[in-house]
Amino acid sequence: MDLHGKAGDELLATGFTAENTRAATTSGSSGIPITIRNSERDLGYLRATYLQDMLSNGLRPTDRIAYFRVNPFLRHPLERFGVLRNFHIPTSRSLDEQVAAFLAARPTFLIGFPNVIRSVVDELRRRGVEHRGVRTVLFGGERLSPTARAHILDYFGAAHREVYASVEVFTIARTCPRGALHLRSADLVVEVEHEDGTVSVEDGEGDILITRLHSEAMPLIRYRLGDRVRIGPNDCPCGVARTPIVREVIGRSQDRIAGADGRRYYGDFITYAVQDFAEVSRMQLVQHRSGSVEVRVVLAHDARPGMTADIRDSVLRVAPDLEVTVLAVQEIAPEPNGKIKIVKVLDPSGDPAPPDVPPDKPMEKGAVADV
Ligand SMILES: [Zn+2]
């Protein structure tokens, strides 16, 4: 069933209504809003899950936590006793306001999308502000180039931690002390649908399907999140978690590049050809029409001349059939939800391209598969 554009109320479990649940809206995997409804118990579970994300990623009671978010986070009751103090960095406000909120908060633990944390770090650097005291940066959301991640962590001298989570299914995986992204197998059933249509549990590469086990108001079964992932068996020596490991979140499955001959494919191999250049701090692949790709890059200030030509050559080596343009830009605009789409496919009218779903596979992104 496709949830796009529906209130979703028909998916509520018996006894739950729009009145006794609270709505959470997500952009979904294709940028079209989807509304999920949670009961009070669901929200309690959500808060406990997020607290566990932070505790298992090294949060201490005395930490001052900065959330880089559009909306303020729900306050934890313990805050009034001076523990787990939260500070909201309003990412929908101007950069000056974000920086002011950050400096006033003097946080020790940061949580947010990499690109918004990056913007604040860049501005602090530009102003010559040296900021110490941040121990941990917990990244969620979109993928970040290794250079950009190092840039943030170097600035703070902080440890890197990560959660893989979504509004619809909460936390899917979180890093252990060794940095491996372990699945939360006790709380979710994670299946991977491969290119040939076969499905395996917690293993291999393909589209991720999620069933949350502790969902009360709106249980979603085999929810198609829209991410393509690579999952492998646990070989981590941490001893803290023994579950399989998410090796890579390869990307939103609808963001496929179209070749001039109509073929569609995942653009990730192209992004690697770009992000392998250390001078690239941000990037975006934009496709305006089939057979062409525009590579937008934000380059380091000391990038040598001719950099864009080298990036173009590198992309052409992996994608010789594409017409490639490389643009050095000052910034890359995030989507309305604050995330940057790494691979963005537009049709000539400027709308997102429809998902490429073969007729024999009627399941849609952000949809619940038949069971
Ligand atoms: Zn581990």
**3-class state of residue 149 by DSSP:** helix
Q: What is the pLDDT of residue 348?
A: 46
What is the CA(58)–ligand 1 centre distance, in A?
14
Q: Where in the chain is the domain with CATH 3.30.300.30?
A: 256-345
Cα 107 to middle of ligand 1, angstroms: 27
Nearest of 254, 255, 238, 269 to residue 174 by alpha carbon: 238
Ligand 1 centroid to Cα of residue 187, in Å, is: 17
Per the CB < 8 A criterion, the answer to whether 264 and 228 are in contact is no
pLDDT at 354: 45
**CA 163 to ligand 1 center in whole angstroms:** 13
Tens of pLDDT along the chain (371 residues) come to: 666 545 567 788 888 988 888 887 664 444 345 678 899 999 999 889 988 888 888 898 889 999 988 777 666 666 666 677 889 898 777 888 899 999 999 999 999 887 778 888 988 998 999 988 999 999 886 656 667 778 899 999 987 788 988 888 889 999 988 888 999 999 999 999 998 889 999 999 999 999 999 889 988 899 988 788 999 999 999 988 899 999 888 765 556 788 888 777 767 678 778 877 888 888 889 999 989 999 999 898 888 889 999 999 999 988 888 999 999 999 888 877 666 778 888 864 444 444 443 333 333 333 333 33
> What residues have their beta carbon closer than 5 A to ion ligand 1?
176, 178, 180, 236, 238
CATH number of 256-345: 3.30.300.30
- The CATH 3.40.50.12780 portion of the chain extends over 9-252
Ligand 1 mean position, distance from CA 159 (Å) = 15
Ligand 1 centre distance from Cα of residue 234 (Å) = 8
d(CA 85, CA 228): 35
343 Cα to the center of ligand 1, angstroms = 30
Ligand 1 centroid distance, CA of 238 (Å) = 4
Run of H or E including 188: strand 188-193
| C-alpha 73 to ligand 1 mean position (Å) | 28
Contact 207, 193 (CB under 8 A): yes
In this structure, are strands 188-193 and 199-201 parallel, antiparallel, or unpaired? antiparallel
Q: Does domain 9-252 have CATH number 3.40.50.12780?
A: yes
Q: How far is the CA of 248 from the centre of ligand 1 (A)?
A: 15
The secondary structure of 154-169 as a DSSP string is HHHT-EEEEEEEETTT
Centroid of ligand 1 to alpha carbon of 173 (angstroms) = 11
What's the pTM value of the predicted model, to 2 decimals? 0.69
